[in-house]
Amino acid sequence: DGGITQSPKYLFRKEGQNVTLSCEQNLNHDAMYWYRQDPGQGLRLIYYSQIVNDFQKGDIAEGYSVSREKKESFPLTVTSAQKNPTAFYLCASSILGQGDKVEKLFFGSGTQLSVL
Amino acid sequence: AQSVTQLGSHVSVSEGALVLLRCNYSSSVPPYLFWYVQYPNQGLQLLLKYTSAATLVKGINGFEAEFKKSETSFHLTKPSAHMSDAAEYFCAVTFTGTASKLTFGTGTRLQVTL
């Protein structure tokens, strides 16, 4: 089945530690996204990538880093600079819209990150 | 700047009752509007989208939404609620058709009671 796989489902971070969240897709989508979800705040875009070896900052990129070495993979690193990392992190992918084609997002099942 | 407002962070309905979840947007240009649903501990999945074709949009699981430009609204409805509809619902807007420019609302949690 085609889809997006996020791992791990739960992750704990110690003070001063960097942690990496995995996101893999087999939908052959060009674009991939990372969102952060906090209770009562909806989803906020962290980073996105429309092509391999290129990515763009979203609305809340500070304290996070990404890479896009392969089309299928878009890992997110939560660095020690992110002082409030506890949240639910969602990875998504889409085709790239052309003309009036509006992109539909496909989401993974998320990673819950907590601070020890 | 684009934005969406979802009125009511929690909505409770009885099974079989009408579901109405409200979404209003702010825009100076025609928007693309979406409703996504999130079941507990899951990602989001698309319910329906408005892309300037028909103003009444039908989605999955019996949901539909009507685009009303005069009211800047895109409310989500379902004639008869089912227990399986209990979830969180997000309205989202973009003015470019580009997913990277999507703005999500804060969500409405729907509870369905017997």
Question: B74 with B50: CB under 8 angstroms?
Answer: yes
Distance of residue B100 Cα from the nearest chain A Cα, in angstroms: 7
State the Cα torsion B18-B21-B24-B30 to the nearest 10°: -80
pLDDT above 90 coverage of chain B, percent? 75
CB contact under 8 A, A40 and B9: yes
Per CB-CB distance under 8 Å, the chain A contacts of B51 are 100, 102
Q: What pLDDT digit, counting tens, does each position of B24-46 carry?
A: 999 778 889 999 999 988 889 99
**Least CA distance to B107: which residue of chain A?**
A42
CB neighbourhood size of B68 (10 A)? 12
pLDDT in tens, chain B (114 residues): 778 999 999 999 999 999 999 999 997 788 899 999 999 888 899 999 998 778 999 999 999 999 999 999 999 999 999 999 999 999 999 888 788 888 999 999 999 999
Q: Check B99 against A31: CB less than 8 A apart.
A: yes
- Which residue in A4, A100, A103 is closest to B99 by CB distance? A103
Look up residue B103 and give its two tokens. 């703005």
Geometric angle at alpha carbon A115, from B101 and A14, rounded to 5°: 115
A112 contacts in chain B (CB < 8 Å):
41
Tokens coding B3: 């934005």
Q: Chain B partners of A101 at a C-beta cutoff of 8 Å?
A: 97
User: Position of tokens 């660095």?
Assistant: A79
C-alpha distance across the termini of chain B, in Å: 41
Helix (H, G, I), strand (E, B) or coil at B23: coil
